[in-house]
Amino acid sequence: MQTFAIFPNLKKKNIDTILGWIIEYLQQRQVRVLLPGSIASQTGYNDLAYSFSTESSENITLAITLGGDGTLLSTARQMAPLNIPICGVNMGQLGFLTEVELPELSVAFDKLIAGDYRQEHHLMLDAFVIRGKKTFYVSSALNDVVVTRGGFSRMIRLNLYVNNELTTNYAADGLIIATPTGSTGYSLSAGGPIVNPNLDVILVTPICPHTLNARSLVVADHEEILIKLQSVSEDMVLTVDGQTIYNLTPGDQIIAKRSSHSASFIQFKDQNYYGKLRTKLRRGK
């Protein structure tokens, strides 16, 4: 029997109706359905509760997210160490990372049950903060690791090292270290390039640099990126996928490097990345 784990964003409109429909649709087709324990208790599906942090994941076929890119990102960080593939259902606005739109639910679930799909593995990053002589692990990231100023409008100064070689000195609002998956997120809005997620590279994009010649930098996935903060301001933060926040202090150093885990995404055989670029980002409209 196949087992689908569902991760819904309960803040989305009509989520109760859609979640109920999905559960019934899958169960009628002999698919076992699981929900995170907290979600199961809030929605009344206590018999479907499952603890993903402590129980074995061997029998879970795939994970389904109901929401937008934010829901998918948080689920991906949780599922990657368990090697569980993810299929995102878009209930947000853009939903660039998601694979399924609401009108396509029944067709998409029939394909999932039949195994009519392929898997793509996207590289992830690990973020560390060095403070004094101690190194603190912050989080893994699917989209990006960002060093930026906090609420004040002053710029920050930082040095960028690649494989311990000083590469650039920045005076900017911050610096984005992005994966190819995250190239269509914050990095893109800051002027970074769009990179196919099948490529094994890491992007470095400055945020509002105070210079006329700053450009994004693309490095190999095996190279380690080190950021040394030069600013004396204590209003600096490290964010991971725009969701995890770590307060920084002057003198901190941040390391971003490829994670040992990767995120596995469900891709239907009749869809491709460049078609998604055209439809999702409305290129050439």
Q: What is the pLDDT of residue 270?
A: 75
Cα 217–chain centre separation: 20
Q: What is the pLDDT of residue 93?
A: 76
Q: What is the pLDDT of residue 284?
A: 47
Q: Where are the domains of the chain?
A: 3-117+268-280, 125-260
Token couple for 168: 């650039």
H or E element at residue 70 = helix 69-79
The pTM (predicted TM-score) of the whole model is 0.91
CATH code 3.20.20.140 for 3-117+268-280: no
Q: What is the pLDDT of residue 20?
A: 96
Q: What is the pLDDT of residue 255?
A: 98
Q: Which amino acid is at 267?
A: Q
Q: What is the pLDDT of residue 149?
A: 84
Token couple for 273: 């990345």
What Cα–Cα distance (Å) separates residue 110 from each residue in 26, 28, 124, 241? Answer: 9, 12, 29, 31
Rounded to whole angstroms, the Cα distance separating 5 from 26 reads 11
Phi, psi (degrees; rounded to nearest 5) at 74? -65, -35
Average confidence (pLDDT) per 10 residues, the chain, 285 residues = 95 94 97 94 93 71 95 94 94 83 94 95 97 94 93 82 95 95 95 94 95 89 96 84 92 96 91 79 57
List, in sequence order, every beta strand (DSSP E) within the chain: 3-8, 32-36, 49-50, 62-67, 86-90, 100-101, 118-131, 134-141, 144-149, 156-162, 165-172, 174-178, 201-207, 217-220, 225-229, 236-240, 244-248, 253-267
CATH of domain 125-260: 2.60.200.30
Cβ–Cβ < 8 Å for 60, 34: yes
Q: Known catalytic residues?
A: 69
Rounded to whole angstroms, the Cα distance separating 16 from 41 reads 13
